[in-house]
Copies of this chain bind each other. A is one copy, B any other.
Amino acid sequence: MVNNVINKEHVSKKFDADLEEIRTRVLQMGGFVEEQIKNAVEALTDGNEHMIEQIIDNDHRVNAMEIKIDELCSQVIVRRQPTAIDLRMIMTVINTITDLERIGDEATKIARMAKLIYAADRMHMPRFVEIRHIAAIAIDMLRKALDAFARLDPNASAEIVRQDEQVDEEFRSIIRHLITFMMEDPRKISTAIEILFAAKAVERIGDHAKNMSEYIVYLVKGKDVRHVSADEIEREVSK
């Protein structure tokens, strides 16, 4: 009996250590991906070629982080046979890193667009201010989502969902402005399309950060809020 308790505690401590390692790695991956976006948006504004290449080159590191964490999650399930909340924690990680990896992809896409725009040696383009603005919101959403993950706090989710609506609205506004811009000067249509894709990538980053914050609500509240409104999420979280 005593042996069993000790054994259980031992297993539980090992499990905690495993989970801790996984969570640390997720946060590291999140921090790295956040840097990738920041640098990509920076590169879009200043066309720093060295930085562009570095962002594109870094993408395999993001991918490797995802693969490693995925492996660790499978190992923990097999070794520790987690149930209930512990299993939900691992499911949350598995979902979260998929979104982080795709945020990484979007950062790379922004860098590629920056490369195209500057390779063509085109003049200073408008809309960069707007893209920086929408990107600042998306990065803020990502930071909040990572923070919510670190503290297992479901309270940020409703706000992140509202910020995502704001990002979508700003994105539509950028498109409208780009259309006007293209109509005024059809020679700039190619570049405008590249900017449009960069804006689209930022908008997708917002979607992924939103997904991430919703997983935390599921983890802590056991309630799947992936397809419900911000108000409903607020009600769920305050229960």
Residues of A that sit less than 8 Å from B by CB = 60, 63, 66-67, 70, 74, 77-78, 81, 83-84, 87-88, 91, 94-95, 98, 175, 178-179, 182-183, 186-187, 189-190, 193, 196, 200, 224, 226-227
**Cβ distance A99 to chain B, nearest Cβ, rounded Å:** 9
- Are A74 and B91 interface neighbours, CB within 8 A? yes
Q: Which residue of B lies closest to A60 (CB)?
A: B227
- Are B78 and A227 interface neighbours, CB within 8 A? no
Chain B residues, CB < 8 A from A196: 193, 196
The residue from B70, B81, B91, B224 contacting A67, defined by CB atoms under 8 A apart: B224
Check A179/B193 contact, CB under 8 A, given A87-B78, A88-B74, A94-B94.
yes
Which of the listed residues A70, A83, A193 has the most CB atoms from chain B within 10 Å of its own CB?
A193
- Are B193 and A186 interface neighbours, CB within 8 A? no
Rounded to whole angstroms, the CA-CA distance of A121 and B98 in the bound complex is 40
Rounded to whole angstroms, the CA-CA distance of A157 and B77 in the bound complex is 27
Q: Which residue of B lies closest to A178 (CB)?
A: B193
- Are B226 and A63 interface neighbours, CB within 8 A? yes
Chain B residues, CB < 8 A from A200: 200
A-B contact list, 17 entries, CB within 8 Å: A63-B226, A63-B227, A67-B224, A70-B91, A77-B77, A77-B87, A78-B87, A94-B94, A95-B98, A178-B193, A179-B193, A182-B182, A182-B186, A182-B189, A189-B189, A196-B196, A200-B200
Chain B residues, CB < 8 A from A81: 81
Q: Which residue of B lies closest to A99 (CB)?
A: B98
**Cβ distance A75 to chain B, nearest Cβ, rounded Å:** 10
